[in-house]
Amino acid sequence: MSSETLMEKPMSGKFRCRTQSWYIVLVSFLLWLTLYMCYLYSSSVTFRKRGHSFVANNHTGFLDSSQSFHVVVRDDETQDPSHVEDIDIVDNVVDDDETETDEDKTTEFSDVEEVNQVIDSMLSEDQNGTDTDSAKDNEDVTSNEEVKNMDEDDKPVVQSSAQDKRKEGRSTKQRKGTTANVSERQRDKKSEEDQERRKEDRVVKQKETANVLERQRGENVEDQAAKRKGAANFLERQRGENVEDQTAKRQENADVSERQREDNPEDQPVAKMLPAVKSRTERPQRPRRRERNKPADSLNPVMEKRIEKVVAEPRRQNPVQAGSDSCSGRYIYIHNLPRKFNQDLLENCRSLSFWTDMCGCASNLGLGARLSNDEKLYSNSGWFATNQFLLEVIFHNRMKQYKCLTKDPLVASAIYVPYYAGLDVGRYLWDPDGFMRDYDALNLVKWLASRPEWKRMWGRDHFLVAGRINWDFRRDPKNESDWGNELLNFDESRNMTTLVLESSPWNYNDFAIPYPTYFHPSRDDAVFQWQNKMRRLKRRFLFSFAGARRPGRHESIRNELIEQCLASRRRCRFLECDKTQKCHKPANVMRLFQNSIFCLQPPGDSYTRRSIFDSIIAGCIPVFFHPGSAYVQYIWHFPRDYNKYSVMIPESDVKTGKANIERILTRVSRDRRVAMKDEIIKMIPKVIYADPSSRLGEIEDAFDLTVKGILDRVETVRNQMNEGRIVNYDFEEEESWKYFAIGKLGPHEWDAYFSRKIGKHGP
């Protein structure tokens, strides 16, 4: 029998067995469908537990279909972040874990219970079925209704589960949006912290880079210093070889000349060499008082034995003018120095002073601008606004006009070094770094010591002009920030003769020459006319003083002098040198001195003053209060008898009030005044420097007297060397002022003034 026949319902009567089979098939289908739905749901829950998300992006909904599920899985496997740009994977995992809470478990358990209830009801109906058709029909109807109810119940369950999933999706989106905001703030905070950390790292790296660069620079500087040192050593070795070659040549020349002298028995002197002056790095400590006046090389007893037998290399006579040479013994050779020691300083004249226009002062060969004679105070020509610190330039230009110059150093009696020492150090006097102040001076002495001219007398025939007071060149070697440089402390300089505006009474290698004045005549007649004018002048004041107070110096007597001058009313005239700079105008100074019989000349910042020479030019008798102001200074220009041209009042009497200036000067007799005035007027040519562009006739000015003094001193030193004597060994160096100014040693009335070194600023 076919299955279709069996499934047909008879027209009459009822088949129980056939009805039960249909029922079983239907129940089985429903069970299968329910189990399949449970499987799908459990698979989706398991997938969420693994940390995957069904959200494609912020604008897509929850994915229900298996096709969408597989698409998401494929995107995750390919690691394509296009669907999850704005979602943090960690946050999604946490949200999925949180969504799988009691709601998911409750939904799952409710579906399983419903399926179990249906199965139990079906089994119970099979066991308790009736035999009547009506009951069966009722059961069929009931079963059909139950099936319908089950279908209808299953639909709400599926719908409710979908709604729950949508709600869960929306809540998940909300939680994810909140989490995204929190995570965004956290990311902003982290980015700020990262930026700060990067800045700190950048600063640290920059510091490390700067340290590395600094170390590299230091290494480069050290390498450069080593290279320069090596180059200097190489040059020094070359110079040494050149000096040896020159020495050998001179020795050959000396042998030739000695053979020639053997033919002429009248020529007796023999030339030998003295030991070289040691370099700066090899200099010994300063000698003690007993040995300070000895040459640096004579401190060694072995050297002393050699010096006893040594004579200076003789001068070679000029073969052209031999026999009738008017310049014999007066020849001077000018060293050709590098430009940085003289001409370059003038070309950079704006750097010479912070307060004065030195470019204008250096005009007219160092004399300055010409002065007009509107007030009839000067001559019609020969007057200039001369700066006192341009003495080096004036002297150099005058030396170029010297009539006994020679280009052969072997013929010269003295060698002039045209180094502008005062202009050089003046640039750095207020600089605390002593290295710059010593730089050019040290290079100069090294350059001189390397020259063959130096070896003749080891620099004792060399001289230079330093246009400042000696204290500007005698800095304390132990205090580099002290005033001035160490030019006069160098061993080479101690062999030379230095001409300064003010010398040290306790040293033998520097000599004072007059300050430059405003008067620089070009003819002898101009000097004579000026002297006659000063003799005829009628003077209104007994005495006068031009200067400033010294309130910070208790030992100065200027305050007492000013008070006495103001108290004398009409007998004294005071020109105050305050901030108005009245004393810097030549007319004010010359008018004051030309109207005064006596001019007070107390010490200022040092013993001497330029005002001394301005008063002499005006025919005013100077009044001194310390012998260091003139008497032990200008030994080549002033008479040794100071009473012939000046008045001396002890400064201690003025300080204690014992001395009344007006009373003392009034007691000077008229005859003595006239004699002193005549002597002062005679001294005018001796304290002026003639115009370098011309040459005086019979008159000897300050330049001529200075050159004569230098030649005499060099000749004396040469004789001492030829006799085997140590130069300047006849007296203690601290008693130099006695030996040169007075001519004899022993106790003296001025010992109280020079018993101790008062200092570079004077008393």
How do residues 401-450 score in pLDDT, each as one tens digit?
999 999 999 999 999 999 999 999 998 888 777 778 889 999 999 999 99
Who's near 660: CB < 8 A, 6+ residues apart?
A: 564
Q: Please check whether residue 518 is in contact with residue 384, taking contact to mean a CB–CB distance below 8 angstroms.
A: yes
Whether residue 544 is found in the same domain as residue 470: no
Residues 489 and 359 placed together within one structural domain of the fold:
yes
633 CB burial (10 A radius; 0-12, 13-18, 19+): buried
Q: Stretch 557-572: mean pLDDT, rounded?
A: 92
Per-residue pLDDT band for 265 (boundaries 50, 70, 90) equals very low
Using CA atoms, how far apart are residues 543 and 571, in angstroms rounded to an integer? 7
Give CA angle at 345 (343, 351), nearest 5°.
Answer: 155
Closest CA to 64 of 169, 151, 138, 146: 169
User: Do 394 and 472 fall into the same domain?
Assistant: yes
Are both 357 and 479 inside the same structural domain?
yes
Q: Which of 252-261, 342-351, 526-535 has the lowest mean pLDDT?
A: 252-261
Residue 550 or residue 453, greater confidence: 453
Evaluated on CA atoms 375, 376, 377, 380, the torsion sign reads positive
| CA–CA dist 154, 161 (Å, integer) | 11
Domain membership of residue 642 (yes or no) is: yes
Could you tell me whether strands 414-417 and 497-500 are parallel, antiparallel, or unpaired per DSSP bridges? unpaired
pLDDT at 562: 93
Q: Is the pLDDT of residue 568 over 80?
A: yes
The closest alpha carbon to 136, from 13, 271, 265, 298, belongs to 13
Residue 598 pLDDT > 90 = yes
Whether 731 shows a pLDDT value over 90: the answer reads: no
Confirm if 625 and 762 have CB atoms less than 8 A apart: no
Q: Where does the pLDDT of residue 722 fall: very low under 50, low under 70, confident under 90, or very high at 90 and above?
A: confident
Percent helix, strand, coil in the chain, to 5, is 55, 5, 40
Instruction: Please spell the DSSP secondary structure of 9-66, one letter per residue.
Output: PPSSS--HHHHHHHHHHHHHHHHHHHHHHHHHHHHHHHHHHTT-----STT-----SH
Q: Kindly state whether residues 541 and 501 are assigned to the same domain.
A: no
> Residue 261 has what pLDDT?
44
What are the CA-CA distances from residue 529 to residues 106, 263, 380, 381, 588 (Å)?
139, 57, 11, 11, 22
**Which amino acid, 562?**
I
Q: Tell me the two tokens of residue 275.
A: 């030991």
Residue 56: inside a domain? no
443 vs 584, more confident: 443
Per-residue model confidence (pLDDT) at position 482: 84
Tokens of 47: 């997938």
Q: Please indicate, yes or no, whether residues 468 and 396 belong to a single structural domain of this protein.
A: yes
Which band of pLDDT confidence, cut at 50, 70 and 90, is reported for residue 249?
low
Q: Which is higher by pLDDT, 12 or 698? A: 698
pLDDT at 418: 96
Q: For 341, phi and psi rounded to 5 degrees?
A: -90, -10
pLDDT at 28: 84
Number of helices followed by number of strands (H, E) in the chain:
23, 10
Q: What is the pLDDT of residues 373-395, one digit of tens each?
A: 888 899 988 999 999 999 999 99
Phi and psi angles of residue 544, each rounded to the nearest 5 degrees, phi first? -150, 165
Mean of pLDDT values over 290-311: 38
Same structural domain, 485 and 576:
no
47 compared with 306, residue with greater pLDDT: 47
Please indicate, yes or no, whether residues 477 and 343 belong to a single structural domain of this protein. yes
Confidence of residue 320 (pLDDT cuts 50, 70, 90): low
Whether 652 and 533 have beta carbons less than 8 Å apart is answered as no
Domain boundary among 670, 686, 702: 686
Residues in the chain: 763
Q: Is residue 505 located within the same domain as residue 543?
A: no
Predicted confidence (pLDDT) at residue 185 exceeds the cutoff of 80: no
Do 336 and 463 sit in the same domain of this protein?
yes
**What's the rounded Cα separation, in Å, for the pair 348 and 152?**
116
Residue 291 has pLDDT above 60, yes or no: no
- In the chain, the number of structural domains is 2
**CATH code of 622's domain:** 3.40.50.2000
What ranges in 320-476 are assigned the alpha helix state H?
343-347, 358-361, 391-400, 421-426, 434-449, 454-457
Does any domain span residue 395?
yes
What was the pLDDT predicted at 262? Answer: 43
- CA 147 to chain centroid, in Å, comes to 108
Closest CA to 472 of 458, 459, 489, 484: 484
Amino acid at 104: D
Average pLDDT of the chain, as a whole number: 75
Instruction: List the domain range (segments joined by +) for residue 499.
Output: 330-510
pLDDT at 552 over 90: no
* Share above pLDDT 90 across residues of the chain, in percent, rounded to a whole number: 40
- Asked whether residue 506 falls in the same domain as residue 536, the answer is no
- Which of the four pLDDT bands, split at 50, 70 and 90, describes residue 338? very high
Q: Which residues pair with 512 in a beta bridge?
A: 500
Q: What is the pLDDT of residue 670?
A: 94
Please check whether residue 250 lies inside any domain of the structure. no
Least confident of 290-304, 360-374, 556-570: 290-304
Tell me the C-alpha distance between 531 and 681, whole Å. 6
Structure confidence by residue, pLDDT tens digits, 482-523: 888 889 999 999 999 999 999 999 998 999 999 999 999 999
Q: Where among 654, 686, 718 does a domain terminate? A: 686
The answer to whether position 549 is within a domain reads: yes
Nearest Cα to Cα of residue 516 among 363, 682, 391: 391
Is there a domain that residue 214 lies in? Answer: no
Residues 435 and 467 in one domain: yes
In a domain, 459, yes or no: yes
Checking if the pLDDT of 32 tops 80, the result is yes
Q: Which of 236 and 302 is assigned the larger pLDDT?
A: 236
**Type of residue numbered 302:** V
Give the pLDDT score at 461.
Answer: 95
Structure confidence by residue, pLDDT tens digits, 674-713: 999 999 999 999 999 999 999 899 999 999 999 999 999 9
pLDDT of residue 77: 41
* Percent above pLDDT 70 for the chain: 63
Last residue of some domain: 478, 510, 542?
510
In a domain, 516, yes or no: no
